[in-house]
A and B are shown apart, each in its own frame.
Chain A
């Protein structure tokens, strides 16, 4: 069976002139199943963001193909909704205006749009903040707006590029738990980038460890922790076993990255 989203022997090389001329991703193949929550984990600079940007159609692969439902992705693909680490909210729109953006682009009438927006604003627990502007909100709240905005646009796949990296540890934990609940109720296919093993184990069905530059798939680990999950799963012995296994794969790559001369 074919997955909903796939990368087939993808290479991405940034040419000199538009950077330093480096191979960010090399001959990488990956297959994402419908409804799956996949975490990509790896040291910084392993090409995980590059891969995600190719799935969104922001970048084109140098060789190979990325496909959504079997069709090659050749331009910015609204069916792959991106959650940016830096939120990318429209500062001139209120919370409601931001969340309504996707439905508005689809030509959904105003009253229906408002209903959709209200539903997702409630889902991310921002009821009462509909008329605020993004600059009036904390980082955690802004990231919730981003999540509501992308969910309201109803893409087939959610792409999340270290969405909680800019948040403090406590807010981050709360956001993980809420994302867990949202995913378990909506079952939307999700590709989530992180460099945090705990985060990957809490959220994912499957964890792909990427090698240091050039990015390749180093290992794939099925996350056998039961669902529905709660962040307290971090205290279980199975969690510790899985964490040790992933760390074994990651450690080598991190060391390579930290001391590339050896």
Chain B
């Protein structure tokens, strides 16, 4: 059914504007429906595979078992505690990284000696995955909250720095010239042109990095933590409770998805002039 429908909308996109709006709306609805169908079909297949023994539940627990396990965790409040614990670590590490890396990236973008001083460290630190910092961070900070925050920080700041540097350097030089021609001082060029000009790039860099921060916290929690979504997964693994592992995994997906939605909202609010372009 879906194939002729999509063919029809294709041919209609070339017609008049109100028509296009209508088919666009229709396609949006249809696409949502297909997404829901796709998820339902997957769950049904998964359920059937475990129910009829196509796959042993030793290797893959049934969706029912995962839901029951999730229900238990919600009931005891453990799931919320885990989500809050992980989110707090991500938020702290990420905010700290942004606080350091955004100003540093801007300075490196406008003042070449700063870039020259920082470049060697950026090149050497960039290839290191954040988990390689786990031994040192445990030695220095123990296995408490500050160690998790540090892992998130180490895994995030360099990406934020690179995105900020790139967007600062990419601000249209013609606009800087125009601003100076209209009488802007160095500080005014910075405030009125470079910062707002780099802002869209910085924000999309922060959004990409936020997902990276999440993967950092999970790896830190899987190595040494009592709380958090990563700890749930590791606990499930240690006790042979695969359903619990899957609850942790789904929990991560959903939480990061929600965090991304919030980030998207914030981005749109901060960039009113891009609203028109993005529709």
Contacts and interface: CB of A to CB of B under 8 A. Distances in A.
Interface of A: 56, 58, 76-78, 80-82, 84, 86, 88, 90-93, 101-102, 105-106, 133, 135-136, 149-150, 153
Interface in B172-192: 172, 174-175, 177-185, 188, 192
8 contacts: A58-B181, A80-B181, A81-B181, A90-B175, A105-B183, A135-B273, A149-B182, A150-B182
Interface in B198-249: 199
B193 interface: yes
Given A58-B177, A76-B180, 14 more contacts: A77-B181, A78-B182, A81-B182, A82-B178, A84-B174, A84-B178, A86-B174, A91-B273, A102-B182, A102-B183, A105-B182, A105-B185, A135-B273, A135-B276
Given A88-B174, A105-B188, A136 B181 contact: no
Interface string B264-279: 0000000111001100
A82 B181 contact: yes
B276 A76 contact: no
B177 A153 contact: no
Given A82-B181, A84-B174, A153-B182, A92 B276 contact: no
B196 interface: yes
A231 B192 CA distance: 38
Interface string B156-177: 0000000000000000101101
B251 interface: no
A92 B180 contact: no
B175 to A, nearest CB: 6
Residue of B177, B179, B182, B272 most packed against chain A (CB within 10 A): B182
Given A78-B182, A150-B182, A136 B276 contact: yes
A84 B180 CA distance: 13
Nearest to B181: A82
B183 A78 contact: yes
B197 interface: yes
A101 B180 contact: no
A80 B172 CA distance: 21
A153 B182 CA distance: 6
Contacts of A106: 183
Contacts of A80: 181
B196 A90 contact: yes
B273 A92 contact: yes
Contacts of B181: 56, 58, 76-78, 80-82
Contacts of A88: 172, 174-175, 177-178
A101 B181 CA distance: 11
Interface string B71-91: 000000000000000000000
Contacts of A56: 181
Contacts of B184: 101, 105
Nearest to A75: B180
A218 B180 CA distance: 33
B276 A133 contact: yes
Contacts of B272: 133
Contacts of B185: 105
Nearest to A154: B183
A148 to B, nearest CB: 12
A146 to B, nearest CB: 9
B267 to A, nearest CB: 14
B196 A153 contact: no
A204 B182 CA distance: 24
A135 B183 contact: no
A2 B12 CA distance: 67
